[in-house]
Amino acid sequence: MAMIVVNGVRREVQAPADTPLLYVLRNDLELSGPQFGCGLAQCGSCSVLLDGKEIRSCVTALSAAVGKEVTTLEGLPGRWAQQKGISQAEAEKTLHPVQQAWIEEQTPLCGFCQNGMMIKATELLERVATPTVAEIKEAFTTSGPSAHLCRCGSYTAIIQAVQRAAMAMGGNR
Ligand code: FES
Ligand code: FES
């Protein structure tokens, strides 16, 4: 048994300690944001934040998350609310600016990769308020164990959505 904190809530999990965190999130905790793509840390579709850093949950053991804060796509609104001092009631009616920007830019095509794209964007924008296009490209290509892959080719829309989210987040600072 392991106790982990996911999206601000303590969760007791019965899975063995070496179970991939992705399986725990999807199968035990019924969080369907993170996707199973390659299972080899090579695509980014399974990404979550672990203490604010993007990790590939397909190759991260449950034991590695004990004592740390896991944030999934579902937890982004609450994360934003906490950072900005917005009430939980208000947070339940809103999205994280990254999610909102993804909608406004109509970024997803099939959508399969977009969980990882939004997680990566959130990590980047928490670190760099107004990233350049080069910094955005670097974040999605060489900053992790592999590039974040989109088989549908939504890369241009992703850059635009990150820029839109950066403006929205900066406007609230
Ligand atoms: S499923 Fe984890 S990186 Fe592809
Ligand atoms: S939107 Fe289809 S894989 Fe990225």
46-54, long-range: CB < 8 A, 24+ apart = 46/22, 46/115, 46/116, 47/115, 47/116, 47/119, 47/120, 47/148, 48/21, 48/72, 48/73, 48/119, 49/79, 49/119, 49/122, 49/123, 52/123, 52/126, 53/123, 54/116, 54/119, 54/120, 54/123, 54/144
- What pLDDT score does 56 carry? 98
Pocket test residue of 21, 25, 26, 38 for ligand 1, highest count of atoms within 8 A of CB: 38
Cβ of 58 below 6 Å from ligand 1:
yes
- Give me the average pLDDT of each 10-residue run along the chain (173 residues): 96 97 98 98 98 98 97 96 88 92 98 98 98 98 96 98 96 43
Instruction: Report which bound ligand comes closest to the CA of 23.
Output: 1
**How far apart (Å, rounded) are the C-alpha atoms in residues 157 and 8?**
30
Q: What is the pTM of this model?
A: 0.96
Name which residue sits closest to atom 2 of ligand 2, judged by CA. 110
Pocket test residue of 24, 43, 72 for ligand 1, highest count of atoms within 8 A of CB: 43
Give the list of residues 6+ apart from residue 117 with CB closer than 8 angstroms, or none: 44, 102, 107, 140, 148, 150, 154, 158
HSE (side-chain half, CA atoms, 13 Å) at 44: 24
Residue type, position 9, single letter: V
Give me ligand 2 centre to Cα 86, in Å. 32
Give me ligand 2 centre to Cα 19, in Å. 27
Burial grade of 147 (CB within 10 A; 0-12, 13-18, 19 or more): middle
- What pLDDT score does 90 carry? 82
- What pLDDT score does 91 carry? 78
- What pLDDT score does 173 carry? 39
Q: How many CB atoms lie within 10 A of CB 109?
A: 14
